[in-house]
Structure 1
Amino acid sequence: MTRPLYWRLGALSLLLAAPIAPLHADGDVRNVSAPAGETAFIPVQADDQKGRILLTLPRPDKDGVAMRLIYSTALRTGLGSAPLTLDRGRTGNTQLLAFRQIGGKVAVEFENPRFRASQGDAAQQDAVASDFGTSLVWMTDIVETRGDGSLVIDIASFLTRDALGITGSLNQSSASFGLDAASSIAGKGFKLDDKLSLADPASVRVFPDNLEVDAVQTFVSKTPGAEVSNIVPEPDTVTFRVHHSFIRLPEPGFVPLRFDPRIGGFSTQVVDYSASLAEPVVYDLANRFRLEKVDPDAARSRVKKPIVFYLDRNTPEPIRSAVLEGAGWWSDAFDAAGFIDAYRVEMLPEGADPLDVRYNMINWVDRATRGWAYGQQIADPRTGEIIKGMVVLGSLRARQDIQIFQGLVGAGQMGTGGPNDPVEVALDRLRQLGAHEVGHTLGFAHNFAASTQDRASVMDYPPPRIGLVDGRPDLSDAYAKGIGSWDIATVQYLYGGADTAEVAETVRRFRYVQDDNARAADTAYPWGGLWDDGADPVDELNRLMQVRKAAIDGFGLDALSPGEPVANLRRRFVPIWLLHRYQVIAAAKQVGGLQFEYAINGGGREEAVPVSPARQRAALEAILATINPDAMRVPSDLLPLLSAAQNGTSDRQYDVEVFVTAGGPVFDPLVAADVSTQLSVQTLLFPHRLARIVIQHQNDPSTLSLDETLDALVSTVLASTGDDLGRRIALRTIATMAQIAERPDATPEVSAALDQKLTEVGETLSRQKGDWAQSLSRKLLDTEARMQLAKTARRGVRVPPGSPIGEESWMDLSTLLSVDE
């Protein structure tokens, strides 16, 4: 019987890794022992004086391969920078590593299991492997060849390679942050300094199935950038401790699962040349843990090995209890799928290493500014079997949430323990976050449509649900409690062996959309919003604008604790003023929106359907209401309070959270209106959205047209130019139209329509009296002046960050499993 490639490699690794004669210490060289009663995966000697780490590899096979294993890296120490995401607990790529003898040397080769012939014979498998490139990443001399043919090598210099890609992270271009080239946030010229880097022999730990070891790596640059300069004591020199895991190939028996696009998740791609001509060569395997019932035929059974997650012992109370509870919600989903006591969350045992691959971890990390949380997987690149889950939660997110809740309900609620206590609400948010990030490590992707179906999943991004009680904001139902119905269904699919009928029923009941069709503000899927709420995005925007008005009308000194600097009001006001920012995006996805599915032929939902004309027009009306001067007017009694001065050492988190002032601490209400207008108008006028409006109107003249959209926008802003506020709103809107018309991703039809509308506006203003109208008219009717107006609009006004870091993605999606909240 021909075995699949992954089975053959696993069996070979087990054979080659069999115990050999024990090593003996020689001078300063010491044996590294496994725990009592256990045999080391790889015999290791550590030379503390010379910095050598000596591995004894089994006798190579006929191809020179002494051992195959899974290799992964992680950061033991972080930078503390949210944008650069060099966090404690961040993992690198997982590789299939082969130690291969070539002459008198041993090389480390990263093999290429994606290309395979899983059902072919050995000759076909070898042929496919020979057709695709591998990566020889390191080579060393053999220290000793033993009488049994085993090889002794020193891997110290392999451990000091920049395997985690730290250099690339430190040298990110400004464009990757959504900034112009002149920005000083990104660094330049960082490189690994070999003289200040070394492997740490004292860190070596060996176990029956894994070897764990650390290295110190130092990176130097003369142009470190603002992020490094803000944190590191000597910014020209940045040092990390990087952890390396060498992992025995999992035993045979794991059954790969074909990825189903209708339900999604994370996956491992296979290019299989043994597929028949009637089958696809390329397919995905769903990433998941190995979870086996003791009684595989029973509807409900205990499992051979439960999935256990461990919480960082540095997590303080009451956060510790909240995260333990929230991350533990998944046990209900596994129980519903028939797995008894199959999943649990515990505190990490005292003395255990959180980077040891045997522990699935939830890490609690501190950064200089707030940033994303994320979930990562170390998965077998041959099968998709998850070996370790690693979550990173940032501590400042909870504190930012508290800032928002204080602005909504007042700081006087702090410590009351009631439903509007900002601390208690923030803990509810952390329960959600713990469940969300662990969900990624279990194999589940985002479902950004879940918020439109009664909070169906913890894998959405949940905003606080803010009610109105007696005309005041209320947080008693801010966050859902427990796992969602979508989550229960997806556990059944990924782990419970859901049959075809069960999968079809899940697809029928639930909406599902993942990052590619939801994360960007201009995507077409009408239910794919981030940080949005409610069954109807348009109704929720209208409702949230009422909540926002009540929150702004009630905002004042009550948002501060006794003795707190009044200058903090300026930071606390921003998220209240921009409370609607994500619901605007959710509503805008109805405009030019298209209901589609990750469909399969025969599934019954193959055709994409445009959003109805009535819904599109309702969404347009709701968005235009957000730029009405009445909604953009800062109450006059707030202006003196928002202009209080700040004293003391500058706080970078504070500095990026506030609106640009009118000089010193003086609050500028027109900047606040400008920012809010910019968010709404840019969201509405994204070129892809306008192109979809054109396409839909061509197919159905009853739908919203581009002319109708632009007419409604221009009429709204030109109707209220009698004061500075109305003129600022109109200027931002018209300048944004000029900027969109010049964008390279605008279609010819969109550019032409915008150009014509701007010309009409210029002609209309030319017939009006007043400096403002005449000045803007000249800019619109002169080609060069309009181009300059477009350039000005492209710079816009600085928008304080809403998501943890900013409006642009500051993370490299290719190096992290997921970008999260």
Structure 2
Amino acid sequence: MKNVLLLLIGLVSFQMSTAQFSEKKKDFKKYEGFFNFYYDAESDKVYLEVDKLDKEFLYVYSLSSGIGSNDIGLDRGQLGNEQVVYFKKAGNKLLLVQPNLKFRALTDNDLERKSVEQAFAKSILGGFNIEEEKNGTYVIDITDFLMQDAHGVSKRLKRGKQGSYSLDKTKSAMALERTKAFPKNVEFDMTMTFKGESTGAFINSVTPNPGLITVAQHCSFIELPDDGFKQRKFDPRSGSYPFMYYDYATPVEESILKRFITRHRLEKKNPNDAVSEAVAPIIYYLDNGTPEPVRSALLEGGRWWNQAFEAIGYKDAFQVKILPDDADPMDVRYNVIQWVHRSTRGWSYGSSITDPRTGEIMKGHVSLGSLRIRQDYLIAQALMNKPFAERDDNHKPMLDLAIARIRQLSAHEIGHTLGFAHNYAASTNDRASVMDYPHPQFSVSNGEIDFSNAYATGIGEWDKVTVAYSYATFPDNVEEEEALNKILDDAKAKGLRYITDQDARPQGSAHVLAHLWDNGEDISAELNAMLQVRKTAIRNFSIDNIKTNEPNSVLEDVFVPLFFFHRYQTEGVAKVVGGLEYNYAVKGDGQEVVRTIDKSTQEKALKAVLRTLEAEEIAIPRDKLELFPPRAFGYGRTRESINGKTGVSFDALSAPETAADMSLGLLLHPERASRLVQQKALEPSNIGLEKVFNELVANTIFKSYKDVYLQEVQRNINYRVLFHLMNLAAHDAVHPQVNAIANAQLTALKAALMSKGKDANAMEMVRRINNFYAHPDKFEVIAAPKLPDGSPIGMDCFH
């Protein structure tokens, strides 16, 4: 009886509460769309109408305004993780459930599907008390759900050692100007303030009050696409991103891990016609806040992709337009190219909202860093001969180069949102893809730097292959898998290659064709050509590389990318030593699987890298040092400056030491050293680690100059060689044979140095070798002055 009474009391209380809410609801602002919702201005609360129990939809969170630091990585327009969710009733509340889509059973057997569903955990993202129920429609308060740190701002700040922060709800509120409802999506925007104590320089540099950081978080509830999307098989040779899940209903003789490609939905109006318009073209919209001449460049570069869609029989299937003034870039209905500002230049990247059930791309979202263009302008300014000798408004040659890069960057990042991965082997095939990282291609003509071939224009031949594989529509009488294999076979017959990120990064990777920011089919020859460009530009470098009334400190900043001009090509050439040639081969495709690079090619690469360790090659000429006084007031050093050990004066010895240390870190990478031992064992005629050491020591430590300045530059380089040899002698993550060969080299080097008598630097090297063996447990490589940032700042960010 007591329980019945309590139940009646609870029911009456619920009805009274519902009646009270219904009465108040008429004063709220109502939004009608995919979900109807109400906004109560008095309490700053949002109430959601749920009339779709157990029906899946997509939940996406993002940042509509960010922090502005590439190092921290919380940018305006940054997408979070998309999640399939549904509302489920449980007692007097609704639960927001995220099913586990990684593990599935695609079968008509309900019990088999349920067994897999129950085997793996799901996630309850939220629980909501029912405020009102009427005819199967439930009203819930979702304010706290929206006002949580879904994007992980506080975690990102803590992980980046910028401070400990938590959401301050008293300084947070709904942002109604970007809170909207549409038939297939509803959009919520929240101004969110994080309170805490800052401990990092990055957050201090970009916030007016680092104890209170205000950003805007955006949440979207989106109708999922219908089941008309057709998945396409992933092939590791295709250049597409894989979309994967496990299907436990798969027959035993087949793999349960299913791989498909991510792509937009694109269909011909007339599938059997050679050329047809699309049922719905892919349209990208450029941020209407983008200034000229960048705006026109981004539009032009983005539209290059239509060349590839025309090649597979589509008419105007890919378009780029200006975003309407009243459109929100976070709205899922728009593929967007955003022009993003940060305090430092940083990576641009292409992200997507993808249906987690199928891999269908629902929204492409490109973020382009606005300061990147200034770095390309700076490179051109450094390489031109006296650009400001006659007038200070001679901007066009530099701007033309920067704009050429921006066009290519637009196409590159859009490519990611179309479903395409990097192709770092494209630079060996006449710049066959915009999905490579291109280094500007310069040459020397009559003592001047020729800019005419700096960047390619238009879509590349490889890009047409990736578009064909992902988006081609085949006639009814054509078997799809056979047609897809033919696309890849034809690409192979044309000599096109595809190698992506995992095999292209400079530290540790080994593929001889895939490098970042490199040029040329013969990478060693291209390094020699780049060194000639560098030498010519340095010879021409003068006070006229800056404008009238600019301090010489600005000239030093302009000089930095010129001095380190060879850095990325050196990365690529170093990979040839101990390098491999291989493909993402599949059975029956006829591709070469893997081979070790031949001795002569490795020797050529080693010789080219050793040039970057020669004082006469990389030292700054004496007459140029007169251009760089101590820094002017208000023009202090930055992370992009040349660092040194001489205090206020420009350090002419540390600059080449830093460049040499970069080369040595690549050439004597522990994994490369171990590969050289293995390659020598498999093919005794190959170059081997001992030969690398012998050539290195002969061309550095035993090299001498009559010129005292060059000799001191070389000595600084020589100490870096010694430290890197010690590192391999003591390293515990290499084959023991590497330790043995390095120790033998140090022993022989010590004996040779001791034979030099009372030579001060020889004696110092001997002392350091003795200390190394006396206290091997205390050995650490003494750091060289830090290499200035060259790639976009913030090396852990995206693309």
Distance 1:104 1:743, change over 3 A: farther
Contact 1:51 1:201 (8 Å CA) reproduced: no
Residues 59 and 95 of structure 1: CA distance in aligned 2, closer, same or farther (over 3 Å): closer
1:45 corresponds to: 38
1:310-389 matches, within 5 Å, as: 310-389=285-364
1:152 aligns with 2:139: yes
Amino acid at match of 2:51: P
Question: In the alignment, is the contact (CA less than 8 A) between 1:420 and 1:475 conserved in 2?
Answer: no
- The aligned residue for residue 95 of structure 1 is 83
The structure-2 alpha-carbon separation of the partners of 1:741 and 1:805, relative to structure 1 and needing over 3 Å to count, comes to farther
Q: Which runs of 5+ in 2 are unaligned?
A: 1-21, 474-482, 706-710
Corresponding residue for 2:517? Answer: 531
1:32 to 2:31 alignment: yes
Q: Which residues of 2 match residues 360-759 of structure 1 at below 5 A?
A: 360-410=335-385, 412=387, 421-497=397-473, 498-508=483-493, 509-605=495-591, 607-648=593-634, 655-721=638-704, 723-759=711-747
Give 1:773's aligned amino acid.
A
Separation in 2, partners of 1:124, 1:346: 48
Query: Deviation of residue 606 (structure 1)?
Result: 5.5
Conserved? CA contact 2:266–2:279, under 8 Å: yes
Shift in Å, 1:48: 1.7
Q: 2:49 aligns with which of 56, 63, 88?
A: 56
CA distance in 2 between counterparts of 1:47 and 1:427 reads: 48
Contact kept, 8 Å, 1:198 with 1:216, in 2: the verdict is yes
Note the C-alpha offset of 1:670.
Answer: 0.5
Match of 1:774?
763
Alpha-carbon offset, residue 27 of structure 1: 4.5
Counterpart of 1:609 in structure 2: which amino acid? Answer: R
Per the alignment, residue 105 of structure 2 pairs with 117
Between the aligned partners of 1:462 and 1:419, the Cα distance in structure 2 is 23
Letter in 1 for 2:509: T
Alignment pair present for 1:72 and 2:60: yes
Distance 2:558 2:395 in 1: 20
Q: What one-letter code is carried by the residue in structure 2 that aligns with 1:537?
A: I
Letter in 1 for 2:201: A
Amino acid at match of 1:520: P
SS at match of 1:308: strand
CA contact (8 A) 1:720 1:727 kept: no
Match of 2:70 among 70, 73, 82: 82
Alignment check: 8 A CA contact 1:73 1:163 kept: yes
Q: Distance in 1 between matches of 2:674 and 2:395?
A: 45
Contact 1:24 1:31 in 2 (8 A): no
Query: Alpha-carbon deviation of 1:643?
Result: 1.8
Listed one character per residue, the Cα deviations across residues 425-470 of structure 1 (whole Å, up to 9, x for unaligned) are 1000000000000000000000001011100000000011011111
User: Which residue is equivalent to 1:172?
Assistant: 159
Q: Give the letter for the 2:146 counterpart.
A: L
* CA apart distance, 1:249: 0.9
Identity of aligned residues (%): 37
1:606 and 1:142 map into 2 onto residues whose CA distance is 63
- Matches of 1:487 and 1:202, distance apart in 2: 40
Q: Distance in 2 between matches of 1:764 and 1:789?
A: 25
Alignment of 1:282-301 (within 5 A): 282-301=257-276
Distance in 2 separating the partners of 1:270 and 1:196: 41
SS at match of 1:412: coil
Q: Give the alignment's Cα RMSD to 1 decimal.
A: 2.0
TM-score by length of 2: 0.92
Assess if the C-alpha contact under 8 Å between 1:629 and 1:720 holds in 2: no
Q: Is the partner of 2:376 in helix, strand or coil?
A: helix
- For 2:327 and 2:130, the matched residues in 1 are separated by 33
The amino acid that maps onto 1:767 is S
Tell me the residue number matched to 1:814.
Answer: none
Deviations 1:201-229 (A, max 9, x none): 55421111111111122222223311001
Distance 1:403 1:665, change over 3 A: farther
Q: Distance in 2 between matches of 1:342 and 1:662?
A: 58
CA change 1:787–1:401 in 2 (3 A) is farther
Q: Is residue 24–residue 30 contact of structure 1 (8 Å, CA) maintained in 2?
A: no
More displaced stretch, 621-630 vs 402-411: 402-411
Deviations 1:461-490, CA, capped at 9 Å, x for gaps: 001101111122121111001100000111
Whole-Å separation in 1 of the counterparts to 2:778 and 2:693:
18
TM-score, length basis structure 1: 0.90
How far 1:25 sits from its partner (Å)? 7.9
- Counterpart Cα distance in 2 of 1:210 and 1:247: 4
Give unmatched runs, 5+ long, in structure 1: 1-22, 34-39, 174-185, 812-818
8 Å CA contact 2:584–2:593 kept in 1: the answer is no
* Pairs within 5 Å for 1:153-302: 153-173=140-160, 186-201=161-176, 203-302=178-277
Distance 2:107 2:738 in 1: 52
Q: Distance in 1 between matches of 2:789 and 2:325?
A: 38
State the 1:110 CA deviation.
1.8
Question: 2: CA distance between counterparts of 1:472 and 1:589?
Answer: 30
Distance 2:772 2:518 in 1: 40
Task: Quote the offset at 1:781 in angstroms.
Answer: 2.7
Count of residue correspondences: 761
Paired residue secondary structure (2:780)? helix
Write the distance in 2 (CA, Å) between the matches of 1:784 and 1:197.
60
Q: Determine the C-alpha separation between the residues in 2 that align with 1:25 and 1:364.
A: 43
Kept in 1, the 8 Å contact 2:506–2:666? The answer is: no
Structure 1 residues 759 and 786 mapped into 2: Cα distance closer, same or farther (>3 Å)?
Answer: farther
Q: Which residue of the other structure, out of 759, 767, 772, is the alignment partner of 1:783?
A: 772
Q: 1 CA distance for matches of 2:67 and 2:732?
A: 37
**Structure 1 residue 284: Cα displacement:** 1.7
Cα distance in 2, alignment partners of residues 52 and 208 from structure 1: 22
2: CA distance, partners of 1:755 / 1:134: 55
Q: CA deviation at 1:26?
A: 3.1
Q: Is the 8 A contact 1:735 1:790 kept in 2?
A: no
| Larger mean Cα displacement after TM superposition, 394-403 or 116-125 | 116-125
Measure how far apart 1:503 and its partner are. Answer: 2.0
Q: CA deviation at 1:772?
A: 1.2
**Change in 2 beyond 3 A, CA 1:24/1:453:** farther
Partner of 1:179: none
CA deviations over 1:338-384 (Å, ceiling 9, x no partner) = 11110100100111111111111100011111100000010000100
SS of equivalent to 2:383: helix
Say which SS state the counterpart of residue 688 (structure 1) adopts.
helix
Q: Which has the larger radius of gyration?
A: 2
Structure 1 residues 123-132 or 74-83, which shifts more? 123-132
Tell me the amino acid that sits aligned with residue 51 of structure 1. Answer: D
With over 3 angstroms needed to count, the CA separation of the structure-2 counterparts of 1:233 and 1:578, relative to structure 1, is: same
Equivalent residue of 1:526, what SS? coil
Q: How many angstroms does 1:418 deviate by?
A: 9.7
Residue type at the aligned position of 2:364: G
Q: Give 1:605 shift.
A: 2.0
Distance in structure 2 (CA, Å) of the matches to 1:798 and 1:484: 37
Paired letter, 2:28: V
Q: Deviations over 1:764-820 (max 9, x none)?
A: 112213111111102113335674995243x332110111116xx323xxxxxxx22
